[in-house]
Amino acid sequence: MAVHAHPDDESSKGAATMAMYASRGVEVLVVTCTGGEAGDILNPGMRGIPKAQRDMAGLRRTEMARAAAILGVQQVWLGHVDSGLPEGDPLPELPPGCFARVPVHVAAAPLVQLIREFRPHVVTTYDENGGYPHPDHIMTHKITMAALEAAPHSESHPGFGPAWQPLKVYYNQDFHIDRWTAIHKGLLDRGMESPLAEMIEHMRSRLDADGSGRRSITTAVPCADFFEAREKALLAHQTQIDPNGSFFRVSRDLQADLWPTEDFELALDFTSRPPIDSTIDYVEDDLFDGIEPETPSGRGEA
């Protein structure tokens, strides 16, 4: 189960990994917390559509369906309303009733039910910073962790099905600075121009001065064979994705050569294996590492 804030997030974070597992017969469910209603058309090639004629919620539902089909995954909507990304100084208040303003225990309740119904071994979501500080991404982290806390206990939400304990929880780290720095350096070493310098500088500006804000990568999943599916799924979100943007200026073959994995940070581990030393990078290459094939799909009352 991959829990994301908006339609298109699933295609930029862990998409090739999901497509790989789906191709192997693993059931994969994307949970999209909001409908992306507050979004705008970011693809310059589509900005000619008059605002009065834009049904953003409808457009993004259609795009999400296409992306899910490309990745071979299931997808459900949690039903919350996009909070938008506040801009200005001071920042304006978020709109009433939006996702980020719903009490966490209320917003998490439908996710508790989904966890108990789908019964995942593994859950992926964002770290406590949301991957980047969008209010809906931070809220996605909060409700995912709250739902994971509640789902294994039958006294919590007793009408939502049998208790369920996923065995592993990961934070997506696809936008880790190490990855983009390696790709940037690889392009320059080949005598090629890199479109990534500005993005890397922005990433560095968000790290603490001593580098302590750098996240751990505990798990690097080889999935280069599914980079094409990831790219096609991203492009399916045509209102949001510029096909001439910087991401698409680095060929799939070069990405596969320079950084052939998608990366995760192990947040919670309920398997019986010894604990992972989180100070060591790249200790796993499989999200299901430590989960025995004969293990039932998760556990009940914890």
pLDDT tens track for 253-265: 999 999 999 999 9
User: From CA 254, how far away is CA 24, in angstroms rounded?
Assistant: 25
Question: Coil, strand or helix: which one is 80?
Answer: strand
Residues facing 222 on adjacent strands: 261
98 contacts: CB under 8 Å, gap ≥ 6: 38, 80, 81, 82, 83, 84
Q: Full-prediction pTM beyond 0.75?
A: yes
Residue 154 has pLDDT above 50, yes or no: yes
Q: Binding site: what residues are annotated?
A: 6, 9, 137
Cα 131 from Cα 234, distance rounded (Å): 18
CA distance 15 to 66: 13
Mean pLDDT of the chain: 91
**Exposure letters 104-141 (e unless 16+ CB within 10 A, then b):** eeebbbbbbbbbbebbbbbbbbbbeebbeebbbbbbbb
Annotated binding residues for Zn(2+), written as ranges, equal 6, 9, 137
Percent of the residues in the chain that have a pLDDT greater than 70, as a whole number? 92
First to last CA, the chain: 19
Average pLDDT score over residue span 119-135: 94
Contacts of 37 (CB under 8 A, 6+ apart): 56, 57, 60, 81, 82
- Give the integer Cα–Cα distance in Å for 18 and 296: 21
Rounded-to-integer distance, Cα 139 and Cα 236, Å: 25
Q: How many CB atoms lie within 10 A of CB 53?
A: 6
CA separation for the pair 65, 236 (Å, rounded): 9
Q: Give me the residue label for tokens 């690889």.
A: 186
CB distance 106 to 146 below 8 Å = no
Which domains are present in the chain? 1-86+97-176+217-288 (3.40.50.10320), 177-214 (no CATH)
Query: E strands along 40-161, which residues?
Result: 74-80, 122-125
Cis check for the bond before 90: say yes or no (omega within 30 of 0).
yes
Which of 15-24, 41-50, 228-237 has the weakest average pLDDT?
41-50
pLDDT tens for each residue of 288-300: 999 987 544 445 5
Q: Report the C-alpha gap between 184 and 192 in whole angstroms.
A: 9
Residue carrying structure tokens 């834009």: 54
Question: Is the C-alpha dihedral spanning 184, 188, 193, 197 positive or negative?
Answer: positive
**pLDDT at position 302, please?**
38
pLDDT at 278: 59
297 token code pair: 């799909």
